Amino acid sequence: MLDKRMSKEDIFENLKKFQDMDMSYESGKILSSMCTKPDPVAMQAYKMFIETNLGDPGLFQGTALMESEVIEMLGQILHLENASGHIVTGGTEANIMAMSVAKYLFQEKHDGTPEIILPTSAHFSFKKIISMLSLKAVYVPLDENYRMDVSKIEELITDNTMAIVAIAGTTELGLVDDIEKISNIAYSNGIYLHVDAAFGGFIIPFLDNQHKGNLNFDFKCKGVCSMTIDPHKMGLAPVPAGGILFRHAEHLEKLAVKTPYLTRNKQTTIVGTRSGAATAATWTLLNYYGMEGYQKIVKDAMELTEYTYNKLSNMEHIDITCKPQLNLISFTSDIKDVDTLKQELYDYGWRVSVAQKPHVLRLVLMPHVKREHIDKFLIDLKSVLED
């Protein structure tokens, strides 16, 4: 392959062929993803900063300044003044950073195997983390509303508890754990609490009063030590853009490694070389949309969720799993199992996914999904059920 060069024309012809094999968000058929079509303004900003490297911030001081402004703005969204953190590749890396900090803190005082208490609804990134950091996982079952059963947490705390993890917007059902209560438990027991708001972080702060109620899920809860919030999900940023925020600057410093050959003497990220493009895109989005703009994006997504929910509720043979809290709906059918349904919908071009706990079909109503797509989807779902 490499001994024969291709002309630019051939290259782009081939690239187009590869691209044509991909699904496009514009088709409206992707109902399984927590990512969406990136905003055009964000893509413009992304391209402008594509050559920057935040791993060597002394060379890219403007981009580094921009990252600090993004962290400050994300802190404002999550009620944290003087937030410390970084724009990273996504929720996985953000969660790894939080758990690494918790492990360093734990090891300053303990010798035993560190344990993390987490709900069975936690994203699979925690499986990777448990293995990478050699942690003992202590799973908390879900309550009847599919949220972390808060009443079970205290009995699971031991001298080796390193951290508690709670989820604000679960991957499978889009539900928010009772962060306020969990925070009180963590705080009164002196345990590190990380909130994984990779998905919910760009939704919950922008919900209207009717949907938000008195939901308290962020740094307002004094036990919360760190939060994941991903711009590349409901923030509309191009991939890869994750966010990690720490309440205490000294916690982020636990990750510091000396970088003698670079322009600054330390790094507090897991990756070394990292693009500033995602930071530029996020900075752009936050300033371009502001609170008001994101409120509108979230309002539209929630309206479509409600529309879909009402339609599905009135459909024969469909059983909705729970009232959606964010823009995610899950359901089963009494005449076809969910794996068959998923496959048959696939044959119609739809990409839906199956949650494991509970075993249900799940639809994520991201901004690239419009009402006309849902109307077509419902027609196909009906055909599949009648087939």
Which residue, 91 or 324, is less far from ligand PLP as judged by CB? 91
Closest approach of ligand PLP to the CB of residue 137, in Å: 16
Which residue, 34 or 225, is less far from ligand PLP as judged by CB? 34
Q: Which residues pair with 363 in a beta bridge?
A: 329
How far is the C-alpha of 327 from the C-alpha of 304, rounded, in Å? Answer: 8
Which residue, 92 or 305, is less far from ligand PLP as judged by CB? 92
The reply to whether 198 sits near ligand PLP by the rule CB under 6 A is yes
The reply to whether 366 sits near ligand PLP by the rule CB under 6 A is no
Which residue, 89 or 333, is less far from ligand PLP as judged by CB? 89
- With tokens 């972080």, the residue in question is 201
Closest approach of ligand PLP to the CB of residue 254, in Å: 21
The reply to whether 123 sits near ligand PLP by the rule CB under 6 A is yes
- With tokens 């509970």, the residue in question is 358
Q: List the one residue from 28, 57, 85, 90 that touches ligand PLP (CB under 6 A).
A: 90
Q: List the one residue from 63, 125, 267, 308 that touches ligand PLP (CB under 6 A).
A: 125
Closest approach of ligand PLP to the CB of residue 54, in Å: 18
The reply to whether 301 sits near ligand PLP by the rule CB under 6 A is no
In 3D, which of 167, 103, 152 has the Cα closest to residue 132?
103
Q: List the one residue from 39, 178, 196, 218 that touches ligand PLP (CB under 6 A).
A: 196
The reply to whether 333 sits near ligand PLP by the rule CB under 6 A is no
The reply to whether 92 sits near ligand PLP by the rule CB under 6 A is yes
Closest approach of ligand PLP to the CB of residue 374, in Å: 21
Which residue, 56 or 93, is less far from ligand PLP as judged by CB? 93
Q: List the one residue from 85, 119, 242, 276 that touches ligand PLP (CB under 6 A).
A: 242
Closest approach of ligand PLP to the CB of residue 375, in Å: 27
Q: List the one residue from 75, 91, 205, 235 that touches ligand PLP (CB under 6 A).
A: 91
Sketch the per residue contact string, 154 through 183, with ligand PLP: x for CB under 6 A, - otherwise: -------------x---x------------
The reply to whether 325 sits near ligand PLP by the rule CB under 6 A is no
How far is the C-alpha of 339 from the C-alpha of 309, rounded, in Å? Answer: 20
Number of residues binding to ligand PLP, judged by CB under 6 A: 14
Extract the tokens encoding 184: 């009180």
Instruction: Give the chain's length.
Output: 387
**Residues within the interface to ligand PLP (CB under 6 A):** 34, 90-92, 95, 123, 125, 167, 171, 196, 198-199, 230, 242
